[in-house]
Structure 1
Amino acid sequence: MDDVPADRPDRDPLAENRARQRELYGEPLGERVHRLTTALGITQARLATALGLSPAMLSQLSGARRVKIGDPAVLGRMVALDRRVSRGPVPPGEVAGLLDRVRATATPWGADAGCCCGADPSPSPARARTPGRDAAPHPDDALRGVSSPARLVAAAAELATSFPELAEVLRRAASRR
């Protein structure tokens, strides 16, 4: 189990992992995976392939046997699919193409996310977000999705000497609300 203390046998490690996922991602990943597979009418294995994960890893994340998504691109793909699904049903004839485009997108939170999932394909990833408008997730959101602000600041401190530009990105992500 990820990050679950072994010295507390009275604790439910899966419940703790789901709570950590809720803290990191806004909800347990099992809920998000279920929502996506149901809305798209696909299996968990097919979703895993589109996200760039092994089916076993997606199963572990969904079942809260693992807490974190280790690859920001995978999280970005999941967020992009979730945003597309939240706008309304995907016609069954378009699901395969959508999944192929998501899988082929290296950084779905950037400018090409709109092209990938049917959002506004504005060339500026920093475009203003207005209520009701589907905007691509900001890279800072993806960073905070895989690590807490405190850990981002700690990573920035470690990188500051050798990679000051990356340290600044991490500090900005940690402070952005």
Structure 2
Amino acid sequence: MTGDQPDTTANRERQRELYGAPMSDRVHRLTGALGVTQARLAATLGMSPAMLSQLVSGRRVKIGDPAVLTRLMALDERVARGPVPPEEVPSLLEQAHAARLQWSAADDAARPPAPAPVVPAPRRVPPRPVPTADDALRGVSAPARLVAAAAALAPSFPEIAEVLRRAASRPVR
């Protein structure tokens, strides 16, 4: 394999993750069941034959147009229900080509997962400092008064005096 060739095996595996089966399996099932060429199927889906060929060969992974994917899935679902009588194929293809299908919530389980939406990164807002007890004490009294209160409370309440002294000695944030 050269550096220019895509890894078709990995691409087909990615298609299996996205669509439940490699596109080659789906397209061959549809062309066989409906008795149409890949070019006719591509025209029905609303894509170029070259694009469909690239999907089938594994040179491309994804169908970029949701309407094309919707038509493909609708045809695949119809074929999965049983044989399509040959006289009904032209009408089915016309309906599929003209379809502007909308999925309902009931179809969610059958459709491939939607790609994750691109969400812009949140703006970085610097965190606000969480006020401490020291901040609260300095907010109600000057450091000199906190030291004086600590001296007055020290004999009876040494632990409270320590908190007051610490608050007085810390710089204001």
TM-score scaled by structure 2? 0.62
- 2:34 paired residue number: 40
- Matched-pair identity in %: 53
Q: What's the CA shift string for 1:75-112, capped at 9, x where partnerless? A: 111110011001100000000000000000122x43xx
Shift, 1:27, TM fit: 1.0
Measure, in 1, the Cα distance between the counterparts of 2:99 and 2:6. Answer: 37
Matches within 5 A, 1:89-104: 89-104=83-98
Partner AA of 1:65 in structure 2: R
- 2:71 paired residue number: 77
Shift, 1:139, TM fit: 9.7
Matched, 1:23 2:17: yes
Measure, in 2, the Cα distance between the counterparts of 1:92 and 1:37. Answer: 12
- 1:60 paired residue number: 54
- 1:120 paired residue number: none
In structure 2, stretches of 5+ residues that fail to align are 123-173
Change (3 A) 1:91 1:139: same
Partner AA of 1:141 in structure 2: R
Change (3 A) 1:64 1:70: same
Shift, 1:140, TM fit: 9.2
- 1:141 paired residue number: 111
* Equivalent pair of 2:15/2:22 in contact (CA under 8 Å): yes
Measure, in 2, the Cα distance between the counterparts of 1:41 and 1:80. Answer: 17
Measure, in 1, the Cα distance between the counterparts of 2:111 and 2:82. Answer: 23
Partner AA of 1:56 in structure 2: A
Measure, in 2, the Cα distance between the counterparts of 1:39 and 1:18. Answer: 22
Residue 141 of structure 1: SS of its match in structure 2? coil
Shift, 1:138, TM fit: 3.6
Name segments (4+ residues, structure 1) moved above 6 Å.
none
Measure, in 1, the Cα distance between the counterparts of 2:11 and 2:73. Answer: 20
* Structure of higher CA gyration radius: 2
Q: How many residues align?
A: 121
Change (3 A) 1:59 1:89: same
RMSD between aligned residues: 2.7
* Equivalent pair of 2:24/2:56 in contact (CA under 8 Å): yes
* Equivalent pair of 2:6/2:59 in contact (CA under 8 Å): no
TM-score scaled by structure 1? 0.61
